[in-house]
Amino acid sequence: MKKVTIHITLKQGVLDPQGQAIQTSLNNLGFAEVEEVRTGKSIELLLENRENMDSRITEMCDKLLANPVIEDYRFEVEEAVRT
């Protein structure tokens, strides 16, 4: 059993209106030190052990989880114990 954490972020240069809205709100709340905000997603998968796991995860990201045109992704794999 493996726990995979996938981090998905917008590529450099892609506009992030949600991040801009968060920045404006933080500035308005008195956090003037905030200069830039970028938002992203994280997805945690619990996987049965399989061969070629890394390439299968890459396939999941390219096919469904991320949009490779505007998003970058990276993932970490660790041992998981079912709780």
* Positions in the binding site for its own copies (CB under 8 A): 1, 7, 9, 19, 22, 25-26, 29, 31, 33-50, 56, 59-60, 63-65
Which residue lies nearer to its own copies by CB, 42 or 68? 42
Q: Pull the structure tokens for residue 48.
A: 């049965």
| Amino acid letter for position 35 | E
**Please, what is the minimum distance in Å from the beta carbon of residue 64 to its own copies?**
6
Residues 6+ apart with CB under 8 A from 78: 2, 3, 4, 5
**Please, what is the minimum distance in Å from the beta carbon of residue 69 to its own copies?**
19
Which residue lies nearer to its own copies by CB, 50 or 69? 50
Q: Is the separation of the CB atoms in 23 and 38 below 8 Å?
A: no
